[in-house]
Amino acid sequence: MPLSFPRGIRVGGSALPDGVMMLTPLAVAIAREGADGTLSIHSFALPERKPNPIENIPFIRILPKLVGQMRFVVQGWKPKEGQKVSPQLVVAALIVGITSGILNFAFASLPTFWHATGSSLLQLTFFFALIGATRAVPKLGRIWRFHGGEHQAIAAYEAGLDLTSENTTTRSLYHPRCGTNLATLALLLMVPGMVIGTLMPGALGYLLTTLVPLPAMCVAFEIVMLGQGRWRAVLWPGLAFQRLTVARPGPAESRAGIAALEAALAEHVRVEAERRVASPAPAIAEPVPAS
């Protein structure tokens, strides 16, 4: 019988190479698949947060969220003991790196502006191509199926449906709060910044080229926030890119998404009840991206 949870808890998550991580404002849960196909589930409470004035300032309010969530992403992606990096991934990265280097060398004969523009667009193209290529390798492409399981589980919960495979598989694979939306917009915004930095002489140009990802991320976050309201069209690049980063899950990936979400919600409810008894004042909870 499906578990019942209160509605309205804001949930986000992340696909992992071997499972799914789900986050609520008060809890985290990770469901990993073992070699025998069984799931191991680990959930824990998030520490109580105090109000941070930076979170009310546009264009820099994303920074505390990034710092706060980075450790959970690292924890989720930490390889299991004895696990090695996939040789297919190493070979693919080498091929991309060598090809990129050759083409960059060829671009060197172009005028500075076109060299900078071509190199920046080339790196972006190779990034998208590498993501797409991983889908052709079953072992590597499975993370995108876990991503689909994560999205469908969250969508089913947000629609008020019971968390069953029958319900989750009817939901959309693509989510407007997916972190892919933020990453895609940031990458697109980085291109003009990289070009300008390359054209500027001396240390200032080098500094701009090095630091451009940070302001690009801050601006992209504000655009995504606009997209959560009436300006849905600004999310189009990210939703389009999700066609590469999200794949239809199989039964195992769906189970992982459901299990991680149920564990996160159960931990959230437990922590909320404990803290309500300990202190009548509600804890400050930060929103989390869908992935």
Whether residue 95 is contained in a domain is answered as no
Alpha-carbon span 206 to 63, nearest angstrom: 23
Whether residue 221 is contained in a domain is answered as yes
Q: What is the pLDDT of residues 197-230, one digit of tens each?
A: 777 877 777 787 788 888 898 999 999 988 887 7
Q: What is the pLDDT of residues 145-172, one digit of tens each?
A: 999 999 999 999 999 999 999 999 999 9
Whether residue 219 is contained in a domain is answered as yes
Alpha-carbon span 35 to 12, nearest angstrom: 26
The confidence score (pLDDT) of residue 247 equals 94
Whether residue 195 is contained in a domain is answered as yes
The confidence score (pLDDT) of residue 44 equals 93
Whether residue 126 is contained in a domain is answered as no
Q: Give the domain range for residue 241.
A: 175-245
Least confident among 75-89, 103-117, 119-133, 175-189: 75-89
Alpha-carbon span 254 to 49, nearest angstrom: 32
Whether residue 237 is contained in a domain is answered as yes
Confidence of residue 61 (pLDDT cuts 50, 70, 90): confident
Whether residue 59 is contained in a domain is answered as no
The confidence score (pLDDT) of residue 94 equals 73
Q: 13 forms bridges with which residues in the sheet?
A: 22
Closest CA to 152 of 38, 17, 251, 287: 251
Domain count across the chain: 1
The confidence score (pLDDT) of residue 120 equals 78
Whether residue 224 is contained in a domain is answered as yes
Tell me the pTM: 0.81
Q: Could you tell me if 90 and 98 are in contact, meaning their C-beta atoms sit under 8 angstroms apart?
A: no
pLDDT (mean) for 185-206: 82
Confidence of residue 117 (pLDDT cuts 50, 70, 90): confident
User: What value does the mean pLDDT of the chain take?
Assistant: 83
